[in-house]
């Protein structure tokens, strides 16, 4: 791992502990929705300029900061996300009052992106202090709009012209205990395809359903058919989930509506099986329309984010790099997470690792589900995540 020893990395990161914590708390108190991250974007620019690092825009608020080493070498992308969620935050976590709470009503960092950005800025400060002995280039990618998946496209436009050799990101995870980190190879987070089905019937009075064509029945039949198809037509060894989160149609109990529909998502780790599942939805919708006399006026089963799949060799490199810094006991296996992540776009282009950093600590009340008002994180893991990022970067560039 170049000439840098684990204890030296720990010492350098320790010096940034208060800074990283202060950035995380400031972001948490001042959350900004997707593609509106102006304040934190400005803070990143200021920090880059203070360190003498050039930066460029990736979208409206996204940024790429470049750290060039003293000697040529490989190029590594270190990525984090900036945006918060439209979630009203609770003042308490699973045990008691939180360390800090959003001051922006209806908006909160309920997924940990504040931690991701704070750890990245800490790593950027540490690595910039090592630039005279670095080989290669580090691109710090501060991605806007991860929750809406809009920012990643602008980021890809910038990065695809940089001759990137690898990538790294951390996601804090409530499903893993504090003090643990996972850099497992293979599938880590699920791919996602969005669904929207709309059926058109013939409106009428509820007293004479025979004179109308009820699109609600088509929605119902489609959902029921899919429940059977999911159990009998998909490969049981390749888990695929289907969830409908929205049904729309109708205004009163005695009015048969003209239109009704349903929206949901398909989640998967195997691309081929995910496509097969989306085709099953199409078949079920067409059959339901035919059986009820409706028209299928809208069928969207658009491709969303692909699955996040860690490169086996890079995962091995990460485990080797992290052990002397964090200790063998900190590195653990972790089952895949069925949420989706735009980091899949990076991993589909370049070999890399998405690490899960555990934040569940019963004594502190952290561990509530992501996107939940009680979501909170154990701030003690911030230093650990920063250490892991620095260690991986040095190991990757030194290979």
Mean pLDDT, to the nearest integer, of 59-64? 97
Same domain assignment for residues 327 and 245 = no
Same domain assignment for residues 259 and 376 = no
How much is the pLDDT for 231? 84
Distances (CA, A) of 227 to 192, 218, 274: 18, 14, 16
**Residue-number span of the structural domain to which 279 is assigned:** 191-300
Same domain assignment for residues 64 and 124 = yes
Same domain assignment for residues 54 and 132 = yes
Same domain assignment for residues 320 and 179 = yes
The last residue of one of the domains, among 244, 279, 300, is: 300
pLDDT tens track for 282-327: 999 999 999 999 999 988 766 678 999 999 999 999 999 999 999 9
pLDDT reading at 2 higher than 60: no
pLDDT reading at 77 higher than 60: yes
pLDDT tens track for 233-285: 999 888 899 999 999 999 999 999 999 999 998 999 998 898 899 889 999 99
Percent of the chain with pLDDT over 90: 86
Please indicate, yes or no, if residue 50 is contained in any of the structural domains. Answer: yes
CA distance 195 to 303: 9
Tokens of 253: 């109990």
Query: SS3 string of the chain?
Result: CCCCCHHHHHHHHHCCHHHHHHHHHHHHHCCCECCCCHHHHHHHHHHHHHCCCCEEECCCCCEEEEEECCEEEEEEEEEEECCEECCCCCCECCCCECCCCCCCCCCECCCCHHHHHHHHHHHHHHHHCCHHHCEEEEEEEEECCCCCCCHHHHHHHHHCCCCCCEEEEEEEEEEEECCCEECCCEEEECEEEEEEEEEECECEECCCHHHCECHHHHHHHHHHHHHHHHHHCCCCCCCEEEEEEEEEECCCCCEECCEEEEEEEEEECCHHHHHHHHHHHHHHHHHHHHHHCCEEEEEECCECCCCEEECHHHHHHHHHHHHHHHCHHHECCCCCECCCCCCHHHHCCCCEEEEEEEEEECCCCECCCCCCCCCCCCCCHHHHHHHHHHHHHHHHHHC
CA distance 178 to 64: 30
How much is the pLDDT for 299? 84
Tokens of 370: 């992501």
Give the domain CATH number at 129.
3.40.630.10
- Higher pLDDT: 127 or 231? It is 127
pLDDT reading at 399 higher than 90: no
| Core vs surface per residue 68-92: b (16+ CB within 10 A) or e | bbeeebbbbbbbbbbbbbebebbee
The last residue of one of the domains, among 300, 327, 343, is: 300
Please indicate, yes or no, if residue 267 is contained in any of the structural domains. Answer: yes
Please indicate, yes or no, if residue 1 is contained in any of the structural domains. Answer: no
The last residue of one of the domains, among 246, 280, 300, is: 300
How much is the pLDDT for 271? 86
Q: What pLDDT band is residue 397 in, cutting at 50, 70 and 90? A: very high
Tokens of 292: 């009820």
Q: What pLDDT band is residue 1 in, cutting at 50, 70 and 90? A: very low
Same domain assignment for residues 106 and 244 = no
Please indicate, yes or no, if residue 40 is contained in any of the structural domains. Answer: yes
How much is the pLDDT for 302? 62
Q: Given CA atoms 157, 154, 73, 166 in this order, what sign does their dihedral have?
A: negative
Same domain assignment for residues 153 and 23 = yes
Same domain assignment for residues 286 and 210 = yes
Tokens of 338: 């069925």
Same domain assignment for residues 93 and 141 = yes
Please indicate, yes or no, if residue 294 is contained in any of the structural domains. Answer: yes
Same domain assignment for residues 321 and 364 = yes
How much is the pLDDT for 305? 85
How many domains are there within the chain?
2
Same domain assignment for residues 62 and 202 = no
Taking a C-beta distance cutoff of 8 angstroms, is the pair 126, 34 a contact? no
Please indicate, yes or no, if residue 373 is contained in any of the structural domains. Answer: yes
Angle at 191 between CA 182 and CA 393, to 5 degrees: 40
Please indicate, yes or no, if residue 385 is contained in any of the structural domains. Answer: yes
Please indicate, yes or no, if residue 35 is contained in any of the structural domains. Answer: yes
CA distance 106 to 112: 16
pLDDT tens track for 82-135: 999 999 999 999 999 999 999 999 999 999 999 999 999 999 999 999 999 899
Q: What's the mean pLDDT when you consider all of the chain? A: 95
Give the domain CATH number at 276.
3.30.70.360
How much is the pLDDT for 4? 63
Same domain assignment for residues 323 and 239 = no
Mean pLDDT, to the nearest integer, of 206-210? 95
Mean pLDDT, to the nearest integer, of 136-157? 96
């Amino acid at each position: 791992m170049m000439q840098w020893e684990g204890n030296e990395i720990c010492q350098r990161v320790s010096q940034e502990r208060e800074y990283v914590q202060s950035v995380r708390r400031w972001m948490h108190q001042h959350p900004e929705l997707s593609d509106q991250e102006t304040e934190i974007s400005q803070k990143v620019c200021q920090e880059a300029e203070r360190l003498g690092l050039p930066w460029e825009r990736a979208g409206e608020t996204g940024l790429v900061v470049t750290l060039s080493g003293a000697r040529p070498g490989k190029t590594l992308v270190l990525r984090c996300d900036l945006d918060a969620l439209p979630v009203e935050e609770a003042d308490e976590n699973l045990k008691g009052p939180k360390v800090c709470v959003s001051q922006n009503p209806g908006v909160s960092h309920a997924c940990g992106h504040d931690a991701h950005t704070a750890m990245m800025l800490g790593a950027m400060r540490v690595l910039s202090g090592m630039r005279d002995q670095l080989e290669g280039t580090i691109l710090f990618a501060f991605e806007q709009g991860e929750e809406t998946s809009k920012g990643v496209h602008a980021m890809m436009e910038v990065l695809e012209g940089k001759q990137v050799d690898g990538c790294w990101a951390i996601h804090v995870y409530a499903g893993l205990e504090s003090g643990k980190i996972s850099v497992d190879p293979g599938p880590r987070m699920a791919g996602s395809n969005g669904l929207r089905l709309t059926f058109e019937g013939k409106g009428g009075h509820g007293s004479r359903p025979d004179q109308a064509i009820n699109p609600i029945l088509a929605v119902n039949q489609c959902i029921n058919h899919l429940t059977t198809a999911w159990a009998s037509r998909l490969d049981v060894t390749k888990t695929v989930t289907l969830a409908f989160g929205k049904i729309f149609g109708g205004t009163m109990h005695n009015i048969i509506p003209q239109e009704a529909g349903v929206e949901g998502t398909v989640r998967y780790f195997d691309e081929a099986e995910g496509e097969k599942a989306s085709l099953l939805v199409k078949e079920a919708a067409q059959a339901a329309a035919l059986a009820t006399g409706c028209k299928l006026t809208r069928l969207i089963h658009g491709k969303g984010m692909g699955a996040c799949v860690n490169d086996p060799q890079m995962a091995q490199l990460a485990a080797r790099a992290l052990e002397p810094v964090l200790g063998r006991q900190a590195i653990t296996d972790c089952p895949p997470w069925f949420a989706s992540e735009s980091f899949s776009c990076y991993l589909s282009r370049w070999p890399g690792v998405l690490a899960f950093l555990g934040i569940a600590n019963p004594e502190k009340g952290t561990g509530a589900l992501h996107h939940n008002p009680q979501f909170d994180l154990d701030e003690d893991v911030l230093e650990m995540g920063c250490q892991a990022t620095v260690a991986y970067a040095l190991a990757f560039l030194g290979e």
